Structure 1
Amino acid sequence: MQSHLDRKAPAPANSNLNILFICTGNICRSAYAHHALDLELEQMGHQRSITVASAGTHAVVGSPMDPTMETLFTHTYGNGLPPEHIARQVTETALRSADLIFCMTNAHMEQLSTFGRRVYDHTFLLPEIQNTLAASEPNTVLGRQLPPEIPDPFRHDTHIYKTVARQITSHIGSLRYLITRISQETHRQSPPVHSQTESYQEAPNLDSIPTIIQSHQIVQIIQNNL
């Protein structure tokens, strides 16, 4: 499979950034990631400019979040209220309207590859950006390599659920980091006007983002859509 680092950045489809998380049943991993990012975006003030959704390749349609995953979610994010989640089956419409699609395993990515090049160009493993950051910042909180895939905890022991929840929480933290840095640079104050007829807007300065990931497709897509 072609590396995401070798892909050409797709043009933005609209003014908002639409993020879609994919797992199998849409009651554990993608549900947790969906609502975790929703809370992070609310804290950041981006809930209107960024839309988050989730779906499953074999969804338990209509079901709420898995009870164990829900308990871990409320413990981690501390709002005392479980997220209102309804599992749904992934559709071609949802995939084609998403700017970033994050899968939990390579098997999910392979299933989505049947939807064509546009979907492929926007699809990533969720751990991909965390591990790219880790390679560039080995001595920071972000500098910790995690497994390349996130296993399904459904009907496994509680410690598997806890491990998966910790992994997803870390990856959502990496997404928040990127969105914050890119948003700050993209929306910084414009330079002064030099004449009555001439003005310019510099390209976003991404110096605050590690060099190794400045050309990463996830970064380019976020930048194009914020």
Structure 2
Amino acid sequence: MINVLFICMGNICRSPTAHGIFRQMIKEKGLQDSIAVDSAGTHAYHVGKKPDERSIQTALSRHVDIRDLMARQLDDYDFEEFDYLLVADQDNHYLTLENCPTEHRHKVKFILDFATRTTLKEVPDPYYGQGNGFERVFDLVEDACAGLMTELEKELKS
């Protein structure tokens, strides 16, 4: 089983969007017995809350349902449990590595490391933004999730 964890600051915008998109890809490919996905935040601001309503609505408009997800904070156990710890941006990369045991640091990567249609390194935080920020996040993360799925399918075949 390959375990993937998406990480952002509060676990209500970027990481649950990635979680929902990737969960749907896993289901569509029938890989539920081979790949597991979760999401977490580096901060505890929103623990126990549903994703931001704007994230929910953007995802629903793209036929991805994230209404069942609940925010949680990154835990020490996650470093052991997950094979991929994929962060949204530089700040969360730093915070994740700061708490990560040395033997698990190789697992920490940027979500957009797997994107094929952008050279951006960070998924912008849409929380305080205006306009199409949530749509942009969905597009970036969807691209990265597709690239990640390609990588994991190769890994599963080897």
| Aligned mates of 2:19, 2:50 — CA distance in 1 | 13
Q: Which residue of 2 aligns with 1:58?
A: 43
| Aligned mates of 1:105, 1:155 — CA distance in 2 | 16
Q: Which residue of 2 aligns with 1:38?
A: 23
Deviations 1:73-122 (A, max 9, x none): 1111x26x543011001100112211001001121111122222123111
TM-score using structure 1 length: 0.65
| Aligned mates of 1:65, 1:146 — CA distance in 2 | 27
User: How is 1:62-101 mapped onto 2 (pairs within 5 angstroms)?
Assistant: 62-76=48-62, 78=63, 81-101=65-85
Q: Which runs of 4+ in 1 moved over 4 A?
A: none
C-alpha spacing 1:89/1:82, structure 2 compared with 1 (3 Å): closer
Q: Which moved more, 1:36-45 or 1:171-180?
A: 171-180
Deviations 1:152-175 (A, max 9, x none): 111321311211111111111111
Residues 20 and 66 in structure 2, CA contact (< 8 A), matched pair in contact too: no
Deviations 1:160-192 (A, max 9, x none): 121111111111111122233443xx2xxxxxx
Letter in structure 1 aligned against 2:150: Y
Correspondence for 2:103 among 118, 135, 156: 118
Residues 68 and 158 in structure 1, CA contact (< 8 A), matched pair in contact too: no
1:47 to partner: Cα distance? 1.0
TM-score using structure 2 length: 0.91
C-alpha spacing 1:83/1:179, structure 2 compared with 1 (3 Å): farther
User: How is 1:126-165 mapped onto 2 (pairs within 5 angstroms)?
Assistant: 126-130=111-115, 142=116, 144-165=117-138
Ranges in structure 2 where 5+ consecutive residues have no aligned partner: none
| Aligned mates of 1:106, 1:82 — CA distance in 2 | 25
Deviations 1:106-153 (A, max 9, x none): 2111112222212311100111122xxxxxxxxxxx4x3331111111
Report percent identity of matched pairs: 24
